[in-house]
């Protein structure tokens, strides 16, 4: 977009006046930020309108990405970049004595997600818009995002993440597009003159109100939509009778109970009400989303029997899997379609992405609960299951065992993954290894029954946020070296490879990293009063806290190094700073203990002056998208150390690689593909591979106490966890100890320890060879282009959605 600086200044000043009746001199930073956002939103509004108009008039196929999580982070800067007006706005604001970065910092992260799955959804939105693909998000407008993490005395404390505290400048409430979602009541088939119809009565109607957020494509006129649904009462906000009798709380009780549906992401589900609330959330946004899709579709005047030619719904993990039954309900009950045609339309519309093989994440809903909350949907699920099982019976005859393993309803539960698989035409894993494990292990029965359904789509990351926005020094250097075509075609980063041995370029790459580290160290000093040596190796593990991700393995290596240093303070090692960032699920005790462990180790080591500052451990509080954008460009070492077979893909691994960090990796998830693309010499791998891990699970043969008894390093470290060495109560880390020793170390931490220590020593050796290290970094950056989510989205578009880009004309 071409923007005249003087016009922008005028627009900005006018916005301050219309919004707040203020001139620049009297406006607070918050008001300036809101006014700037308002102007930027205005600039994109016409494109947004034209995008919608052209998509509709062109009868173009629309993609809807259904997800419980969208971890979008901040939008101001990325919108300015994608619109191509950041530099001009920066200049103009400077001339008015306003620092753009200050304003960008005011924005709150939209943290409507928990980890990789939610961030992937956000990267995909950016890529769809930037490729001109008509693709939109559908989710929940949580009033509170995932909690804000505070660390108090080393423990994680959760406080509400009030991200909507300031006005959300990006969203537009579309009250006129609200729909009703029905819960509870009872449902039955009635017959009238030989004609069957479905009755659903005595239900509770909830109003779903959409809030639309524009998603701007990079250097494109396409502005797609992220539609987030908010739950409200249908005209029952206040009970006047209660109010007038002075019972003020009771008067609004119902309103708050309804609004709880869109109140928080992942409400505690350890009690029954929490479980019901989660299921309510899922049905709520799925039903609202599908209703609004069908409403829009019907304006096109094309038969609903061809819905799948014009609409694709991607189900992000099992959370929106109820979409299969809901679409059937709409087509049959509301549109009068017969079952077989509706089933054909539904299965060809839906596609499901699986993000995990961990049993705990494969959702099941108790039949009793489901039936009570969604009586009509339950009838449909039952019928889908009945028909599916009869197909299974005719193929596998008396093989009851197999049929039991595959049915949707089993043992009083509805298996949502099975519903999603049966109801979709495509089921994809998120990295080659993950997809192979799905095909050959977890979903092998389904792969046998539907030989072509399961396919791979390796994840990706948007290089616009994760390189252009977050690492301006590096992206500037890249453009200076190979020109700017890599921005539109990230695969062209490959052209950097020819400079990998060029010592002048190596030095420039080293300098970029050094500067990033210095800036970050200053930021940490200013905001957290922690001193960091910017010349130390920055070794970073940032991701959700989970046992399979093995933050503990990292801690054990740190303790081992520390123990060696205590014995020999003159040991010749390069100083290293270990960064951790992670939120633990509030109910996940082991994960919370791990945070306390990391902080206890940090406090022990950081306060020990005898080791001459050679080791430092920093826990980055409240890790999220914005902190990731700060730390990733500084990393020298990327910790991707999950138990092989457990990490479906990982996407942090790709972000680090793209920013020139060297990966310490198990052969897990997309690490395998990173290795393929950079070659064995440019990554440091270690540990059991997936096959070995799976064989141990199947056949046994691993005994963690053997390692505990035979490896004095392991013995010493685990003893230090529990003997008061870390200045905490002796039983503080009992559960961790218990898991590793008495529960036989489910994630092979002790088994991989020796190999991991060797890998870390290798890192140390490689880092000492300055030129060799820089060469590795360059090779990593140069080969990261295939991990751009643009590449991933092209594959979804070609192989699952059958959709093409639609350039919007102004």
Number of residues that bind ligand 26Y (CB under 6 A): 18
By CB under 6 A, tell whether 650 contacts ligand 26Y.
Answer: yes
Length of the chain: 810
Tally of CB atoms within 10 A around 600: 21
Tokens coding 704: 């963690």
Q: Which residue's CB is nearer to ligand 26Y, number 39 or number 226?
A: 226
By CB under 6 A, tell whether 282 contacts ligand 26Y.
Answer: no
Q: Which residues pair with 64 in a beta bridge?
A: 136, 313
Q: Which of residues 545-604 bind ligand 26Y (CB under 6 A)?
A: none
Region of 251-259, 483-491, 642-650, 688-696 interacting with ligand 26Y (CB under 6 A): 642-650
> Measured between alpha carbons, how far is residue 344 from residues 65, 107, 621 in Å?
20, 45, 49
By CB under 6 A, tell whether 429 contacts ligand 26Y.
Answer: no
Q: Which residue's CB is nearer to ligand 26Y, number 650 or number 785?
A: 650
- Please state, in angstroms and rounded to a whole number, the distance separating the CA atoms of residues 309 and 328: 16
Minimal CB distance residue for ligand 26Y: 116
Q: Which residue's CB is nearer to ligand 26Y, number 599 or number 651?
A: 651
Question: In angstroms, how far is the first alpha carbon of the chain from the final one?
Answer: 11
Q: Which residue's CB is nearer to ligand 26Y, number 220 or number 465?
A: 465
Q: How many helices (H) and strands (E) does the chain have?
A: 34, 25
Helix (H, G, I), strand (E, B) or coil at 542: strand
Region of 86-94, 114-122, 389-397, 725-733 interacting with ligand 26Y (CB under 6 A): 114-122
Give the residue from 124, 49, 130 showing the smallest Cα distance to 83. Answer: 130
Q: Which residues pair with 181 in a beta bridge?
A: 206
By CB under 6 A, tell whether 267 contacts ligand 26Y.
Answer: no
Q: Which residue has the tokens 């306390």?
A: 596
- Please state, in angstroms and rounded to a whole number, the distance separating the CA atoms of residues 395 and 691: 30
By CB under 6 A, tell whether 660 contacts ligand 26Y.
Answer: no
Give the residue from 149, 147, 166 showing the smallest Cα distance to 107. Answer: 166
In degrees, to the nearest 5, what angle opens at C-alpha 517 toward C-alphas 600 and 85? 125
**x/- site string to ligand 26Y, residues 600 to 639, per CB under 6 A?**
----------------------------------------
Region of 72-80, 183-191, 587-595, 641-649 interacting with ligand 26Y (CB under 6 A): 641-649
Among 51, 346, 349, 651, which one carries the catalytic annotation?
651
Residue 345, sorted as left (phi over 0), alpha (psi -120 to 50) or beta, turns out to be alpha
In this structure, are residues 235 and 220 in contact, taking their beta carbons and an 8 Å threshold?
no
Q: Which of residues 355-374 bind ligand 26Y (CB under 6 A)?
A: 355-356, 361, 363
Helix axes 770-782, 503-528, angle to 10 degrees: 90
Q: Which residue's CB is nearer to ligand 26Y, number 207 or number 648?
A: 648
Helix axes 770-782, 749-768, angle to 10 degrees: 110
By CB under 6 A, tell whether 459 contacts ligand 26Y.
Answer: yes
**x/- site string to ligand 26Y, residues 387 to 426, per CB under 6 A?**
----------------------------------------
Q: Which of residues 668-727 bind ligand 26Y (CB under 6 A)?
A: 669
In this structure, are residues 15 and 167 in contact, taking their beta carbons and an 8 Å threshold?
no
Active-site annotation holds for 738: no
List Cβ neighbours of 87 (8 Å cut-off, separation of 6 or more).
Answer: none
Give the residue from 530, 481, 540, 535 showing the smallest Cα distance to 505. Answer: 481
In degrees, to the nearest 5, what angle opens at C-alpha 449 toward C-alphas 448 and 450? 95
Among 329, 355, 415, 751, which one carries the catalytic annotation?
355
Among 31, 415, 513, 544, which one carries the catalytic annotation?
544
Q: Which residue's CB is nearer to ligand 26Y, number 27 or number 693?
A: 693
Least Å distance between CB 580 and ligand 26Y? Answer: 17
Q: Which residues pair with 728 in a beta bridge?
A: none
By CB under 6 A, tell whether 121 contacts ligand 26Y.
Answer: no
By CB under 6 A, tell whether 291 contacts ligand 26Y.
Answer: no
Least Å distance between CB 779 and ligand 26Y? Answer: 23
By CB under 6 A, tell whether 647 contacts ligand 26Y.
Answer: yes
Exposed, middle or buried, 678 (CB in 10 Å: 0-12/13-18/19+)?
buried
Q: Which residue's CB is nearer to ligand 26Y, number 120 or number 584?
A: 120
- Please state, in angstroms and rounded to a whole number, the distance separating the CA atoms of residues 69 and 142: 10
- Please state, in angstroms and rounded to a whole number, the distance separating the CA atoms of residues 581 and 740: 22
- Please state, in angstroms and rounded to a whole number, the distance separating the CA atoms of residues 532 and 630: 15
Q: Which residue's CB is nearer to ligand 26Y, number 83 or number 117?
A: 117
Strands (E), 13-123: 62-66, 70-73, 110-112
By CB under 6 A, tell whether 114 contacts ligand 26Y.
Answer: yes
By CB under 6 A, tell whether 115 contacts ligand 26Y.
Answer: yes
List for the chain the helix, strand, coil content (%; round to 5): 55, 15, 30
Among 86, 513, 550, 655, which one carries the catalytic annotation?
655
In this structure, are residues 537 and 636 in contact, taking their beta carbons and an 8 Å threshold?
yes
Q: Where do the H-state alpha helices sit in 262-322?
A: 272-298, 307-310
Q: Which residue's CB is nearer to ligand 26Y, number 262 or number 561?
A: 262
Q: Which residue's CB is nearer to ligand 26Y, number 200 or number 583?
A: 583
Q: Which residue has the tokens 């203990």?
A: 593
615-619 and 637-640 as β-strands: parallel, antiparallel, unpaired?
Answer: unpaired
List Cβ neighbours of 808 (8 Å cut-off, separation of 6 or more).
Answer: 47, 50, 51, 54, 132, 220, 221, 222, 223
Active-site annotation holds for 355: yes
Give the residue from 444, 398, 215, 419 showing the smallest Cα distance to 318. Answer: 419
- Using the rule CB under 6 A, which residue among 117, 223, 315, 678 binds ligand 26Y? 117
In this structure, are residues 743 and 765 in contact, taking their beta carbons and an 8 Å threshold?
no
Q: Which residue's CB is nearer to ligand 26Y, number 316 or number 506?
A: 316
Q: DSSP label at 461?
A: B
Among 549, 583, 596, 751, which one carries the catalytic annotation?
549
Q: Which residue's CB is nearer to ligand 26Y, number 408 or number 670?
A: 670
Active-site annotation holds for 432: no
Active-site annotation holds for 275: no
Among 61, 543, 616, 685, which one carries the catalytic annotation?
543
Q: Which residue's CB is nearer to ligand 26Y, number 285 or number 708?
A: 285
Q: What single string gives the DSSP state of each residue in 692-710?
A: HHHHHHHH----HHHHHHH
Least Å distance between CB 647 and ligand 26Y? Answer: 5
Region of 116-124, 244-252, 288-296, 299-307 interacting with ligand 26Y (CB under 6 A): 116-124
Find how far residue 377's CA is from the centre of its chain: 28
Residues that bind ligand 26Y (CB under 6 A): 114-117, 120, 319, 355-356, 361, 363, 430, 459, 647-651, 669
- Catalytic residue positions? 355, 543-544, 549, 651, 655
């Amino acid at each position: 977009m071409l923007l005249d600086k003087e016009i922008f200044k005028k627009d900005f000043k006018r916005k301050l006046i219309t919004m707040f009746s203020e001139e620049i001199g009297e406006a607070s930073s918050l008001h300036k930020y809101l006014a700037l956002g308002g102007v930027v939103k205005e600039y994109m509004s016409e494109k947004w309108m034209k995008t919608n108009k052209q998509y509709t008039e062109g009868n173009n196929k629309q993609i809807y990405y259904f997800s419980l999580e969208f971890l979008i982070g901040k939008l101001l800067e990325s919108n300015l970049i994608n619109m191509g007006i950041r530099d001009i706005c920066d200049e103009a604001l400077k001339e008015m004595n306003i620092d753009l970065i200050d304003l960008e910092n005011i924005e709150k992260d939209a943290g409507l997600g928990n980890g990789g799955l939610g961030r992937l959804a956000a990267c995909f939105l950016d890529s769809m818009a930037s490729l001109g693909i008509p693709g939109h998000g559908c989710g929940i407008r949580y009033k509170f995002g995932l909690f804000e993490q505070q660390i108090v005395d080393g423990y994680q404390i959760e406080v509400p993440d009030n991200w909507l505290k300031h006005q959300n400048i990006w969203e537009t409430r579309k009250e006129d597009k609200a729909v009703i979602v029905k819960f509870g009541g009872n449902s039955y088939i009635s017959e009238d003159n030989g004609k069957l119809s479905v009755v659903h009565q005595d239900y509770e109607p909830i109003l779903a109100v959409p809030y639309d957020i524009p998603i701007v494509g990079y250097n494109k006129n396409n502005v797609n939509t992220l539609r987030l649904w908010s739950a409200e009462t249908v005209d029952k906000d206040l009970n006047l009778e209660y109010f007038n009798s002075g019972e003020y709380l009771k008067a609004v009780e119902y309103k708050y109970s309804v609004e709880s549906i869109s109140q928080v992401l992942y409400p505690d589900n350890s009690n029954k009400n929490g479980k019901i609330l989660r299921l309510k959330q899922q049905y709520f946004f799925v039903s609202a989303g599908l209703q609004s899709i069908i409403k829009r579709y019907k304006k096109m005047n094309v038969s609903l029997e061809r819905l799948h030619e014009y609409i694709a719904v991607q189900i992000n993990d099992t959370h929106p899997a109820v979409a299969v039954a809901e679409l059937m309900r709409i087509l049959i009950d509301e549109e009068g379609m017969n079952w077989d045609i509706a089933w054909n339309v539904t299965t060809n519309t839906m596609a499901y992405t699986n993000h995990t093989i961990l049993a705990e994440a494969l959702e099941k809903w108790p039949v009793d609960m489901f039936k009570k909350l969604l009586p009509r949907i339950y009838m449909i699920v039952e019928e889908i299951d009945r028909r599916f099982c009869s197909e299974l019976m005719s193929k596998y005859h008396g093989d009851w065992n197999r049929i039991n393993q595959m049915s949707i309803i089993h043992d009083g539960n509805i298996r949502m993954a099975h519903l999603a698989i049966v109801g979709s035409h495509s089921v994809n894993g998120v990295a080659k290894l993950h997809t192979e494990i799905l095909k050959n292990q977890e979903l092998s029965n389904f792969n046998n029954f539907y030989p072509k359904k399961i396919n791979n789509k390796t994840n990706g990351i948007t290089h616009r946020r994760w390189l252009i926005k977050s690492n301006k020094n590096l992206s500037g250097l890249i453009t200076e070296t190979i020109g700017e075509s890599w921005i539109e075609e990230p695969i062209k980063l490959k052209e950097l490879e020819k400079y990998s041995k060029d010592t002048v370029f190596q030095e420039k790459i080293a300098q970029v990293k050094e500067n990033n580290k210095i800036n970050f160290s200053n930021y940490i000093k200013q905001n957290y009063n922690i001193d960091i040596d910017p010349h130390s190796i920055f070794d970073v593990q940032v991701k959700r806290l989970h046992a399979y991700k093995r933050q503990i393995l990292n801690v054990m290596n740190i303790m081992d190094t520390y123990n060696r240093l205590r014995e020999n303070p003159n040991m010749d090692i390069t100083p290293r700073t270990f960064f951790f960032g992670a939120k633990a699920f509030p109910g996940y005790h082991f994960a919370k203990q791990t945070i306390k462990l990391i902080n206890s180790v940090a406090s022990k080591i950081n306060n020990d002056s005898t080791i001459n500052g050679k080791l430092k451990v920093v826990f980055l509080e409240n890790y999220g998208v914005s902190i990731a954008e700060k730390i990733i460009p500084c990393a020298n070492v990327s910790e991707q150390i999950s138990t092989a077979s457990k990490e479906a893909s990982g996407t942090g691994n790709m972000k680090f690689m793209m920013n020139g960090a060297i990966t310490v990796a198990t052969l897990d998830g997309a690490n395998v593909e990173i290795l393929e693309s950079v070659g064995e010499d440019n990554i440091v791998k270690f540990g059991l591979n997936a096959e070995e891990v799976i064989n141990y699970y199947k056949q046994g043969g691993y005994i963690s106490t053997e390692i505990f008894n035979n490896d004095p390093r392991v013995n010493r470290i685990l003893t230090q966890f529990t003997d008061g060495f870390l200045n905490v109560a002796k039983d503080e880390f009992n559960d961790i100890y218990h898991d590793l020793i008495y529960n036989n170390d489910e994630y092979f931490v002790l088994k991989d320890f020796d190999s991991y220590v060797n890998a870390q020593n290798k890192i140390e050796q490689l880092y000492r060879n300055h030129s060799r290290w820089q060469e590795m970094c360059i090779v990593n950056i140069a080969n990261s282009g295939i991990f751009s989510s643009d590449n991933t989205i092209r594959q979804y578009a070609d192989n699952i959605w059958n959709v093409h880009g639609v350039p919007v004309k102004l």
